[in-house]
Amino acid sequence: MRFAVLVFPGTWSDHDCQYVLRDRLGQEADLVWHREEDLAAYDAIVLPGGFAHGDYLRCGAIARFSPVMAAVRREAARGKPVIGICNGFQILCEAGLLPGVLMRNDSTQFRCEDVQLRLETAATPFTAAGAAGDVLRVPISHGEGNYYADPETLARLNAEDRVVFRYCTPAGAVTAAANPNGSLENIAGILNEGRNVLGMMPHPERASEALMGGEDGLVIWRSLVASVTARAAAAR
């Protein structure tokens, strides 16, 4: 399968994502510059973390206008899986592909640390290899990860099983103390209505090799590869 790993000026997790997909999971993964206008040749799209365009104005506010984002919208509408990680999540929200916004951490501090995530639903292309209730240890690295949405949007996300991850304790309890940034309801990742676009603040690419401290992030990557493979087989 062929993955597009998008690169904006200021992106820095692109090579990490490419490494996991290519060297750990044996997939074709290309770094795609943000001026590219056609992603039709790819089976899935990754928007990695970083500081696209220096995070000027707001995180992702300039990146949303990059030529490649029209292609992302087009391929997402066709049902292709799209995952946005950290800055990628922020870009997807700014581009209207996901609801809500990512605001400054309530501590006003940049947080770079391991957190625990409770997997809320396995009914997604990104988590099917796991089970609801699983607790994953995955690092975060952000200053604007405080997820906010209006009450109506929040209610809809919950009613439609579109909250994918919540910050939790190692035992799986969703508590205020386990929330590293002030996100509403400890939300760490959400889906679009079509369930093929995921935004998450933690970095699964940094938790995909034992040498780096853990492999819990592989649940997301293996799920994505399996989903893309099944989708391609069904299209034949």
Write the CATH number for 131. Answer: 3.40.50.880
Say if residues 209 and 130 touch (Cβ distance below 8 Å): no
- For the annotated catalytic residues, the residue numbers are 86, 203, 205
Model confidence over 166-196: pLDDT tens digits? 999 999 999 999 999 999 999 999 999 999 9
Give the number of domains in the chain: 1
Collapse the DSSP code of 156 into the 3-class scheme (helix H, G, I; strand E, B; otherwise coil) and give the result: helix
Residue percentage of the chain with pLDDT more than 90:
94
Residue 140 scores a pLDDT above 90: yes
Residue 202 to residue 172: CA distance in whole angstroms: 16
Nearest one of 214, 203, 201, 233 to 91, comparing CA atoms: 201
Model confidence over 42-73: pLDDT tens digits? 999 999 999 999 988 889 999 999 999 999 99
Task: Classify strands 82-85 and 197-200 as parallel, antiparallel or unpaired.
Answer: parallel
User: How distant, in Å, are the alpha carbons of 12, 15, 72 from that of 125?
Assistant: 25, 22, 17
| Cross-strand bridge partners of residue 118 | 135, 166
Residue 39 to residue 41: CA distance in whole angstroms: 5
Q: According to the model, what pLDDT value does residue 183 have?
A: 98
Q: Which residue range forms the structural domain that includes residue 183?
A: 2-235
The C-alpha angle with vertex 204 and arms to 16 and 137, in degrees rounded to 5, equals 135
pTM over 0.95: yes
Q: What is the mean pLDDT of residues 14-35?
A: 98
